[in-house]
Amino acid sequence: MQNSIYKTTYLVKKMDCHAEEQLIRTKLEDVPGILSVMVDLPQRKVEVFHRGDVELISTGIYSLNLDSHLISSEPIEYTDIYSDDKKQKNTLWQVLIINFFFFVLEFITGIFASSMGLIADSLDMLADSIVYGLSLFAVGGTTKKKKTVAAIAGYFQFSLAIMGFIEVVRRFLGYGDNPDFKIMIIISVLAMMGNIICLYILEKSKSTEAHMKASMIFTSNDIIANAGVILAGIFVYFTASRIPDLVVGTIVFLIVVIGAYRIVKLSL
């Protein structure tokens, strides 16, 4: 029946990385009747939840020449599709709120503490907020709206990072005050705790979807960045110099630029 819901599974032998996954999602996003697309990269499987005939879906996937084969197509219950999607959305909303809160906290305290390390780390938290927001769009398949948001968010983040680099250079030249190491350490410890909580929430979801795994990687990297700012605060205390803060700030700003580039790639 036309209104029946099906789960159709494909083996895509040449789907080796996220680039091929994105190709498949892009190819399928305009196919009518598709409700959700689940991708398992390690197993090279694509599960499409849809209404109606499977022919248009098969034609789209086969046209990519990724050595694809139809494994099965069977009717399923309506609730089977959205139970995991709802769980993913709840998880992503939780980590998005945590990251955005610490972006605001680190950015404001970074300005008051004259710490480029804290400001850079706040932008890194903003980058994660953007990634989690984009992942919310990715739940249940990609959309054109996701690509537009990715482009705007990526270029915005890149612009902030460039302004950060300019400020770092200005401070290397002797302008600005020495950072407040106490605020650096306290806020970075709190941010690290926030990231550890996010990582726990993400791992507890036990999701195998690519965008969820990417979120875990971003959060793990953030914990390392938090540790870097903490160490910079300690060195600022012992050396009475702004150099450790500026060095860490530069490194984290570079991470933010790389993150912005990855986000922009999602829009291509």
- pLDDT (tens digit per residue) in 164-200: 888 888 888 877 778 999 999 999 999 999 999 988 8
Per the CB < 8 A criterion, the answer to whether 83 and 36 are in contact is no
The C-alpha atoms of residue 125 and residue 127 are separated, in whole angstroms, by: 5
Dump pLDDT digits (tens) for 64-94.
Answer: 899 999 999 998 876 655 556 677 778 888 8
**Of all residues in the chain, what percent carry a pLDDT higher than 70?**
82
Say how far residue 172 (Cα) sits from the centre of its chain.
31
Q: What is the predicted pLDDT for the residue at 61?
A: 92
So where are the chain's domains?
5-76, 83-265
The reported pLDDT for the residue numbered 73 is 92
Which residues have CB under 8 Å from 12's CB, separation 6+? 20, 24, 44, 45, 46, 61, 66, 67, 68
| Residue 145 clears pLDDT 50, i.e. is over it | yes
Give pLDDT tens digits for 97-113: 998 999 999 999 999 99
pLDDT band at 142 (very low <50, low <70, confident <90, very high): very low
Q: pTM here?
A: 0.64
Structure tokens at 54: 């499977």
Residues ≥6 apart with Cβ < 8 Å to 50: 5, 6, 8, 31, 33, 34, 35, 57
Contact criterion met (CB below 8 Å) for 199 and 91: no
* 5-76 and 83-265 share one fold: no
Average pLDDT, the chain: 81
Instruction: Tell me the CATH number for domain 5-76.
Output: 3.30.70.100
Q: Is the predicted pLDDT of residue 131 greater than 90, yes or no?
A: no
State how far the alpha carbon of 228 is from the alpha carbons of 15, 191, 221, 240, 243, in Å: 36, 12, 11, 17, 13
Per the structure block, which two tokens stand in for 204? 């507890």
206: CB partners within 8 A, 6+ apart: none
What are the distances in angstroms from CA 108 to CA 33, 217, 248?
A: 46, 26, 18
The residue ranking higher by pLDDT, 71 or 144, is 71
Evaluate if residue 138 carries a pLDDT over 60: no
CATH architecture type of domain 83-265: Up-down Bundle (1.20)
pLDDT tens for 198-241 read: 888 888 876 655 556 666 777 777 888 899 999 999 999 999 89
Residue 33 predicted with pLDDT over 60: yes
Tell which residue, 267, 172, 176, 184, has the closest CA to residue 231: 184
| pLDDT beyond 50 at 63 | yes
Output phi, psi for 97, to 5 deg. -65, -45
